[in-house]
Structure formats: C-alpha cells, structure tokens
C-alpha cells in the first residue's frame, strides 16, 4: 500500500498540488508519494517558523528540553515502525536502520541535557564599576537541508540543537528519502510542541531547496550533502549574508602500518566499506598500507569482502549491505571502477553489478595497485569499493592523505603510540579514528576541513553553532 503525505507548516498539514513517487531501491516498488513544495509554500514555512520563534525563545531552556524529550519518548514507542520505513525507503539493512532510529532518539535526549549548561560569560572590564556580559542567543530561523544516506538521524542533528537553543526550524529532506521525515512530522504533530516550531517541506533541491537558501528571513542554513551543492549554497547565501553550516563529502584514508593488528584493521575497513553500502561520508574510502603487510591485509580483506551478505533488506534480516540509493549512484560506482581498471588498478574481487533480481546492487569490490594520480583515489565513490595503495611508511601515507581536497575523517591502524600521536598531530582532517571503526560520537564534534565543510555538528561545539553572542556593557 502506498502512503501519501503533505507539507507540515505552522502545525498543519497543508495540501500540495505537486507530488512525486518514492521507490524502494531494492525492489523499485513505489512505497509512497510526497509533496514537492513550490517557492510560495517554502516562504509560508519560513514565515510560520519566524512567527513561532519569539515565544519559543522566551520559554525557559528546560521547557524546550522537555518538548524534545517528549518527541524522543514518542519515537521510542514506534522504533520498529520507523526502522522498517528506512529499510524500505533507503535500502538500509534492518540492523543498521534500527541503530539509526535508536541513535536519533538518544541524540534528541542528549541535546536536551544541555538545557541547564549553555552558559554566558562575565568578562573583566578595564573600567571601574563596569560589568561586561557575553550572552548566548538563538539565531532565529534555521533551514535544515538533508541528504538521503542517514535521512532520519540528520533530522535530529539539525532539529535538536536548533530547538534547544531557542531557534525554530524548516527541514527539507532529500527527494530520495522524504517518507521517514513526513512520518516524523506526523509524530511531532501529535506531541505538545507549539505550532510553527518544527516545519517540514518536501521537494527537489532546484525548487524547494533554492527557495529556502535564497530566503532572506532564514538566519542559518544547516546543510549536509555534496560539495557541489554546498558550494552553490554558500554562494547563494552570500547574497543575503546568511550564515552557513556545511557538512560535505569526504574521501577518508585508512592508514595501515606494519605493526598494526591486521585482523582488527581488515574488519574495521570492511565494515566501513559495506555499512550502508559504502554510502557514508566518514567511512574509509581508500587504504594506504605499508609495503611489508600489503599482501597479508589484502588477503584478509578479500575473505571479508567475498563473504559479504547482500540483497533486499526488506526481505532478509541478516544482511551486511543493501542496494545503492538509485540508478545514478550505481552508474557512478560502475564508471569509477571501470576507469580505475583502465588507469592500471588490479581487480581482486567484485567489479560488477550484482546478479540480483532487482535493485541497484553492486558487488563488494577490492582494487589494488592504486596510486595517488588516479581518480579512484581522489573522488568520493559512495559505494562498496576499496582501492588500496602501497606506501613506504607513515611519512608517505601522511603526505598522500593530506594531498586530498577533502578533510573529513581518517583512520590509522598501528600498535605504536608515537606513530598514532604523530598521525593525530599531522593529519589535516576533522576526525581521526585510531584502531577503531569509523563512527563518530554524539558528544564529539563532526567537522570537515578543506572542501569537506564549514563548521560542524554534535557536542558542545556543534550546539553553539546554533547560537550567536550578544555582549552587554553595564556601567555603574
């Protein structure tokens, strides 16, 4: 049965004249139809958020936190239903979809915990009898624009810190995965959250997205997605001098040194390449391995890649990965692998579309003999493909890793504390995982350098991005 949805504006579901079908990427079955907001509808959502903001800001932070907790609690009562929607809409495995839903509820609660902890400052004055106060205030109206790869969690990553700090929000989900967001709006509409504090508009980037990023009444555009769209948003936002927070793509290097625990490294790198079918911004997209352990690592990785269980996640519970998100994603991965082989890579395993009845499936693929001049070592692949390059040691690995246009995450496998610390000092990345899988914590700070973004999310530093300062000088 297909489900039908409408934009959620000012606490009401407002019917739209244009809709689009959403398909399951594993079966191509249409699973729902969601609205495509036009510019006027987006304008109405921003106006509703603006109208609701002053009263929301005036509520004590602990009351705003209580609204967030109510949403998290309601979500927990429907955790399996939401996971099922994500499985069908995005092609995530059942286990990972459940992790996404549970992490989302925990994240909302985590942000609520900050209610009593956002403090201002008292700054010493140069004058007698003067007090200088630095206050933290909300920005106003936030536009949250989401990608499709962690569509549900990303709602919370934008909404929870924005609302806790006294902002109101308009969310636009990806046109690929809007259903989970519209179901979330339904859940929010059944809580006591005041109307207009949370708004949701569907639609394409070229229409609904453009209307949001060019609206002068938006105070912050918090965007997660590709470098190309992030760059365009920054240019458009420049016209109104709207603040931007950009979480963009990556090409995370995994550095494996000769003293590494190779079983641990192989497992973490394999996990990282098949989780969400390789469509994760922070996961290892390429390996630099020290010569002496190259063959031993490739041998371990090959066993793991060839043992990967994949298929239709709606039909099978115990899978390691599902399909890619759409035909364009599959064609992109196919093209990158074909050109890598033309460029001189050796295909160890995989290298083709998977032989499944339907769905955008690609085989888990290992390529060796990669080198840094190749496209496959430079461009984000977003698929279950791992190119591997030999290096002479840590010096070369760091030099090559830092030559990237991206700077989101990186990982290092070594038993030597000095090598680990040196990598941590010298890698030009927002995050480095040492001897562990690629996954950030909600209390950390997920922030890219270079073309991977501006600003960051999570923890205290992520929360403060939704505030601005106001300094007050009090004489006498």
Q: Which of 9, 112, 188, 213 binds ligand NAD (CB under 6 A)?
A: 213
Q: Which of 17, 129, 192, 206 binds ligand NAD (CB under 6 A)?
A: 206
Give me the sheet containing 7-9, strands edge to edge: 12-14, 7-9, 198-200, 168-172, 141-145, 220-224, 243-247, 453-454
| Pick 85 or 143: Cβ nearer ligand NAD | 143
Closest approach of ligand NAD to the CB of residue 122, in Å = 35
The piece of 42-50, 51-59, 106-114, 224-232 that touches ligand NAD (CB under 6 A) is 224-232
Residue 446 sits in the site that holds ligand NAD (CB under 6 A) = yes
| Pick 144 or 313: Cβ nearer ligand NAD | 144
Closest approach of ligand NAD to the CB of residue 330, in Å = 13
The piece of 180-188, 199-207, 284-292, 346-354 that touches ligand NAD (CB under 6 A) is 199-207
DSSP string spanning 354-376? ---SSS--B--EEEES--TTSHH
Residue 249 sits in the site that holds ligand NAD (CB under 6 A) = yes
Site string for ligand NAD, 390-429 (x = CB under 6 A): ------------------x---------------------
| Pick 148 or 310: Cβ nearer ligand NAD | 148
Q: Which of 144, 166, 209, 462 binds ligand NAD (CB under 6 A)?
A: 209
CA-closest candidate to residue 46, choices 134, 170, 147? 170
DSSP string spanning 317-337? SS-SB---SSHHHHHHHHHHH
Closest approach of ligand NAD to the CB of residue 23, in Å = 16
Residue 250 sits in the site that holds ligand NAD (CB under 6 A) = yes
Residue corresponding to tokens 């955790």: 79
In angstroms, the Cα distances linking 71 to 78, 107, 195, 225, 235 are: 11, 11, 14, 25, 35
| Pick 69 or 232: Cβ nearer ligand NAD | 232
Task: Quote the CA–CA distance of 405 and 412 in Å, as a whole number.
Answer: 19
Q: Phi-psi region for residue 207, left (φ > 0), alpha (ψ -120 to 50) or beta?
A: alpha
Residue 25 sits in the site that holds ligand NAD (CB under 6 A) = no
Mind telling me the catalytic residues? 247, 281
Residue corresponding to tokens 């600003």: 455
* Rg, Å, the chain Cα set: 23
Between residue 335 and residue 374, which ones bind ligand NAD under the rule CB under 6 A?
none
Site size toward ligand NAD (CB under 6 A) is 31
The piece of 40-48, 57-65, 99-107, 229-237 that touches ligand NAD (CB under 6 A) is 229-237
Task: Quote the CA–CA distance of 443 and 424 in Å, as a whole number.
Answer: 19
- Specify the 3-state DSSP secondary structure of 454: strand
Closest approach of ligand NAD to the CB of residue 261, in Å = 28
Site string for ligand NAD, 268-287 (x = CB under 6 A): -------------x------
CA-closest candidate to residue 270, choices 311, 299, 293? 299
Q: Residue 381 has what DSSP assignment?
A: -
Q: Which of 64, 172, 251, 451 binds ligand NAD (CB under 6 A)?
A: 172
Closest approach of ligand NAD to the CB of residue 208, in Å = 7
Task: Quote the CA–CA distance of 132 and 63 in Å, as a whole number.
Answer: 28
Tokens of 400: 């090559």
- Specify the 3-state DSSP secondary structure of 7: strand
Contact (Cβ atoms closer than 8 angstroms) between residue 225 and residue 367: no
| Pick 76 or 232: Cβ nearer ligand NAD | 232
Closest residue to ligand NAD, based on beta-carbon distance:
205
Q: Which of 35, 205, 311, 351 binds ligand NAD (CB under 6 A)?
A: 205
The piece of 104-112, 169-177, 364-372, 412-420 that touches ligand NAD (CB under 6 A) is 169-177
**Element holding 453 (H helix, E strand):** strand 453-454
Residue 174 sits in the site that holds ligand NAD (CB under 6 A) = yes
Q: Which of 22, 75, 229, 386 binds ligand NAD (CB under 6 A)?
A: 229
| Pick 205 or 364: Cβ nearer ligand NAD | 205
| Pick 311 or 456: Cβ nearer ligand NAD | 456
Q: Is 27 exposed, middle or buried (0-12, 13-18, 19+ CB in 10 A)?
A: middle
Task: Quote the CA–CA distance of 396 and 83 in Å, as a whole number.
Answer: 43
Q: Is 241 exposed, middle or buried (0-12, 13-18, 19+ CB in 10 A)?
A: exposed
Site string for ligand NAD, 139-158 (x = CB under 6 A): ------xxxxxx--------
Closest approach of ligand NAD to the CB of residue 432, in Å = 15
| Pick 179 or 233: Cβ nearer ligand NAD | 233
For helices 394-402 and 417-426, what crossing angle results, to 10°? 20
Sites of contact with ligand NAD (CB under 6 A) = 145-150, 172, 174-175, 204-206, 209-210, 213, 224-226, 229, 232-233, 247-250, 281, 380, 408, 446, 448, 453
């Amino acid at each position: 049965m297909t489900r039908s949805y409408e934009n959620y504006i000012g606490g009401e579901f407002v019917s739209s004249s244009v809709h689009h079908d959403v398909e399951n990427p594993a079966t191509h079955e249409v699973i729902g139809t969601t609205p495509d907001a036009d510019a006027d509808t987006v304008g109405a959502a921003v106006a509703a958020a603006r109208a609701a903001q002053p009263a929301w800001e005036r509520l004590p932070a602990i009351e705003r936190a209580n609204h967030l907790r109510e949403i998290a609690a309601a979500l927990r009562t429907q955790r399996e239903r939401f996971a099922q929607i994500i499985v069908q809409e995005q092609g995530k495995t059942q286990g990972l979809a459940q992790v996404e839903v549970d992490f989302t509820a925990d994240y909302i609660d985590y942000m609520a915990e900050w209610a009593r902890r956002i403090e201002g400052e008292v700054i010493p004055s140069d004058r007698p009898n003067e007090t200088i106060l630095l206050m933290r205030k909300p920005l106003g109206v936030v536009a949250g624009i989401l990608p499709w790869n962690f569509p549900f969690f990303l709602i919370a990553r934008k909404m929870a810190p924005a609302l806790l700090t006294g902002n109101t929000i308009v969310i636009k989900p990806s046109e690929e995965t809007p259903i989970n967001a519209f179901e979330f709006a339904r859940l929010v509409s059944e809580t006591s959250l005041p109307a207009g504090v949370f708004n949701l508009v569907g639609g394409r980037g070229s229409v609904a997205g453009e209307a949001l990023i060019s609206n002068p009444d938006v105070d912050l555009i918090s965007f997660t997605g590709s470098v190309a769209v992030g760059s365009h948003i920054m240019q458009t936002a420049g016209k109104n001098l709207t603040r931007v927070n950009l979480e963009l793509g990556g090409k995370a290097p995994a550095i494996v040194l000769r003293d590494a625990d190779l079983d641990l490294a192989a497992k973490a790198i394999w996990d990282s390449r098949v989780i969400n079918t390789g469509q994760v911004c922070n996961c290892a997209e390429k390996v630099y391995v020290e010569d002496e352990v190259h063959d031993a690592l490739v041998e371990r990785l090959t066993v793991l890649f060839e043992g990967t269980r994949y298929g239709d996640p709606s039909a099978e519970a115990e899978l390691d990965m599902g399909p890619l998100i759409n035909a364009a994603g599959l064609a992109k991965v196919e093209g990158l692998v074909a050109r890598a082989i033309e460029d001189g890579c050796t295909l160890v395993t995989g290298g083709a579309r998977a032989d499944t009845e339907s769905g955008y499936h690609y085989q888990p693929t290992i390529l060796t003999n990669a080198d840094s001049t190749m496209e496959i070592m430079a461009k984000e692949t977003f698929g279950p493909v791992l190119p591997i390059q030999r290096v002479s040691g840590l010096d070369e690995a760091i030099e090559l890793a830092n030559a990237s246009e991206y700077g989101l995450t990186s990982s290092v496998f070594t038993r030597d504390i000095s090598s680990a610390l040196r990598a941590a000092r010298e890698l030009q990345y927002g995050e480095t995982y040492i001897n562990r899988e690629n996954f950030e914590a909600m209390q950390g700070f997920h922030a890219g350098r270079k073309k991977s973004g501006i600003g960051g999310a999570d923890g205290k530093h992520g929360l403060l991005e939704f505030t601005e300062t106001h300094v007050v000088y009090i004489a006498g």
